[in-house]
Amino acid sequence: MSFKFSIPSRVPVLYVILSVLILISVVPMYFYSAKVEAINRDRLITNERLLQNTVTRSLADDISQRQESLRMMLANLSSALQVSSGGDLTGDNVEAPELRALLENFVSSSDNLAYVTLLNSDAKGISAGRIAPDVFLQRELQRSFAAASEGRSYNGPALVIGNGHAARTVMLVSTPVTYSGRFLGMIGTVVDLQFLIRRLQEVERNGLTPYVVDSDGRLVAGADSEYVTGQDMTNLEIVKNFVDQGSKAQLVAATRDFTLHEGKTEIGMLGTYSPVLNLDWAVVVQKPRDEAYRSVFEMQHTARLLALLAVLLSVGISVYAAHLITHPLKVLTESSRAIARGDFSQRVHLKSRTEIGELASTFNTMSEELEQFVLDLKSAVNQNRELFMGSIQMLAGAVDEKDPYTRGHSDRVTRYSMMIATEMGLSEDATEVVRVSAQLHDVGKIGIEDLILKKPGALTTEEFAIMKTHTTKGANILRPVAQLKDMIPGIELHHESLDGRGYPHGLHGDEIPLLARIIAVADTFDALTTNRPYQQAHDPLEALRIIHNLSGKRLDPAAVAALTAIYQRGEIRIPRSSAPAPATSAPPQSTRPAEAEPASTVVAAGLPA
């Protein structure tokens, strides 16, 4: 199946105006809304990334500051211990009461300090605090002592001590104690990371998942129990990226999209890490991308909904405006079409102060003038028609007046012919042709000498030949008038016969025009029902019987049937009348050559009516 696209020959102006209005309103609005949406989307995405960066940076700075503060506190404690011990921590000097008091004051100075110990160069010393070191913490103390022996500070990994609700995440921080470049011992303190966990929990309440990892990607602390301290977090892309960056990761924060795999489910995530410079840690926050960009999606949904409403409103206004503009044009178009159809009574009723209102007023003036002009034309046409028909009737009457026996003959033949034409279903125009042709069917007799036309006695063969020329004479009289060319066949051929025995051309059957065949039947009926010099008027029924005998032989059967139907309905009434007095002293019973024949034969022979 093929489809063909055809361009319409005429595009309604409503569509043109509507298209222009929509083009200048909707299209700019669409691009503007799209641009605004893109800008706001970028801003919201930037704001979400900036929020994560701000949160991680704040946590990282907090941890760094606490670490620096702790280092300063340890440095101050180390100085105090040096002064109190006189720079000698060997033997029992390390267990001096004043040194123990310094340690206890140090631990009690902060809730984040759970334990502190002072070891001399022989790894013997004293301690103070709320906890007792377990095996893992003892191992970290050994590592920190080894680092202190080398003159290095030590930051241990995060450890969990205790069980259940008493469990605590801690880390060991140590610093060497030296005097004049000589190693005296080590101060080690256990920091309770509960403060960090509380901060992470505060962040989590804002919809983020925060946690802290070390340089190896192992968990230092998390906001909940989803992750376990010491757990390898490098399966998360954001953490792996931090670990892979190595020392570079300690310089700048990074925010990126990544995918979280939970079984067969993949979740798009947005994550940010910020390094804790003095601990080689990183604070990480992450959030499902759908939640992170929820405000973006809501903004897009709202913006598109508002844009759609604005577009619909714009289209509605455009349609209304286009209708206001095109309605007057539609009214003018319909009125113009009515005038084109000949209805000049149409008026345009428009109230407008624009040029369209002026156009409507001008249109009404034009319609009024056209209507009056058409009325004048119709009046002139009617007058001309009446003059034309009057002239025809006058001409036919003049012919009838030449022969007192045929007076009124043309009018009667005209009336019978029109009734037959109407009965046969001819159009109005064709019936009008029948009317004029029947009225003038004997106009040629005006050219026949009165001696022959009015002769009451028998016509000689030569006189009869002259009488038959009235058909061609009538046609020749009317032929110069172009407006009567359609009537000539009825005038010239109404004495033709279906059997070819008529005149002037001896035509057969369908060679004879229907116009002439109709007039022939009407002419014969009038000839049979009126008094003539060669016969007395027949009774209408007798006349119809004679005509039926001639149907199909001399006369057209359809026209005969139409005449019969008309008479049977009573539409033809013929009063009985006596023959008019002879115009001369010749006896009224004088005959023409064919008078001795039956009336049917006389008429059929084509004698002039």
Transcribe 220-244 into DSSP letters: EEESSTTS-TT-B-TTSHHHHHHHH
Q: pLDDT band at residue 388, thresholds of 50, 70 and 90?
A: low
Q: pLDDT band at residue 25, thresholds of 50, 70 and 90?
A: low
Joined together, the tokens standing for residue 603 give 């008429």
Query: In the chain, what is the straight-line distance between the N-terminal and C-terminal CA atoms, in Å?
Result: 71
Comparing CA positions, the residue from 476, 466, 489, 456 lying closest to residue 581 is 456
The pLDDT of residue 577 is above 60: no
Give the start-to-end residue ranges of the domains of the chain. 86-192, 403-604
Whole-number pLDDT of residue 65? 92
Higher-confidence residue of 174 and 382: namely 174
Q: Do domains 86-192 and 403-604 have the same CATH topology?
A: no
Residue 461 DSSP symbol: H
Joined together, the tokens standing for residue 387 give 């003059």
Q: How far apart are CA 222 and CA 58, in angstroms?
A: 16
**Residue 143 carries which side chain, given as an amino acid letter?**
R
CATH of the structural domain 403-604, one choice from 3.30.420.40, 3.90.1300.10, 1.10.3210.10, 3.40.50.300: 1.10.3210.10
Higher-confidence residue of 351 and 500: namely 500
Whole-number pLDDT of residue 364? 74
Higher-confidence residue of 246 and 418: namely 418
Whole-number pLDDT of residue 581? 39
Whole-number pLDDT of residue 105? 93
The pLDDT of residue 393 is above 90: no
Chain-centre distance for alpha carbon 131? 80
The pLDDT of residue 554 is above 70: yes
Q: How many CB atoms lie within 10 A of CB 204?
A: 16
pLDDT, tens digit, 9 for 90 and up, residues 103-129: 999 999 988 999 999 999 898 999 999
Return the biggest CA–CA distance within the chain. 195
Torsions phi, psi for 219 (to 5 deg): -70, 130
Classify the phi-psi angles of 138: left when phi > 0, otherwise alpha if psi is within -120 to 50, otherwise beta: alpha
Give yes or no for a contact between 410 and 396, defined as CB atoms under 8 angstroms apart.
Answer: yes
Per cent of the chain over pLDDT 70 is 81
The pLDDT of residue 14 is above 80: no
Torsions phi, psi for 111 (to 5 deg): -70, -15
Joined together, the tokens standing for residue 397 give 């009457």
Whole-number pLDDT of residue 187? 94
Whole-number pLDDT of residue 13? 65
Whole-number pLDDT of residue 389? 64
Mean pLDDT of the chain: 81
Ranked by mean pLDDT, the top range of 238-252, 391-405, 411-425 is: 411-425
Three-state DSSP state, 187: strand
Domain 86-192 in this protein, CATH class: alpha beta
Comparing CA positions, the residue from 201, 206, 208 lying closest to residue 224 is 201
- What is the mean predicted confidence (pLDDT) over 381-401? 67
Per residue, the 3-state secondary structure of 438-453, as one string, reads HHCCCHHHHHCCHHHH
Among 271-275, 288-292, 400-404, the range scoring the smallest mean pLDDT is 400-404
Whole-number pLDDT of residue 248? 67
Whole-number pLDDT of residue 386? 67
Comparing CA positions, the residue from 247, 93, 81 lying closest to residue 176 is 81
- What is the mean predicted confidence (pLDDT) over 85-93? 86
The pLDDT of residue 434 is above 70: yes
Classify the phi-psi angles of 87: left when phi > 0, otherwise alpha if psi is within -120 to 50, otherwise beta: left
Residue 493 DSSP symbol: S
Joined together, the tokens standing for residue 234 give 């490098």
Residues with Cβ within 8 Å of 576's Cβ and at least 6 positions away in sequence, in order, are 537
Whole-number pLDDT of residue 227? 79
The pLDDT of residue 333 is above 90: no
Give the number of C-alpha atoms closer than 13 A to the C-alpha of residue 539, restricted to the C-beta side: 3
Whole-number pLDDT of residue 464? 86
Q: pTM of the prediction?
A: 0.51
The pLDDT of residue 433 is above 90: yes
Residue whose token pair is 């929990």: 201
Q: How many CB atoms lie within 10 A of CB 516?
A: 24
Q: How far apart are CA 282 and CA 504, in angstroms?
A: 129
Whole-number pLDDT of residue 356? 66
- What is the mean predicted confidence (pLDDT) over 525-530? 91
Higher-confidence residue of 199 and 291: namely 199
My answer on whether omega of the bond before 489 falls inside 30° of 0, hence cis, is no
Strands 182-192 and 209-213: unpaired
Whole-number pLDDT of residue 35? 73
Ranked by mean pLDDT, the top range of 204-208, 330-334, 449-453, 485-489 is: 485-489
Chain-centre distance for alpha carbon 464? 83
The pLDDT of residue 86 is above 70: yes
- What is the mean predicted confidence (pLDDT) over 509-537? 89
Q: pLDDT band at residue 348, thresholds of 50, 70 and 90?
A: low
Higher-confidence residue of 317 and 274: namely 274
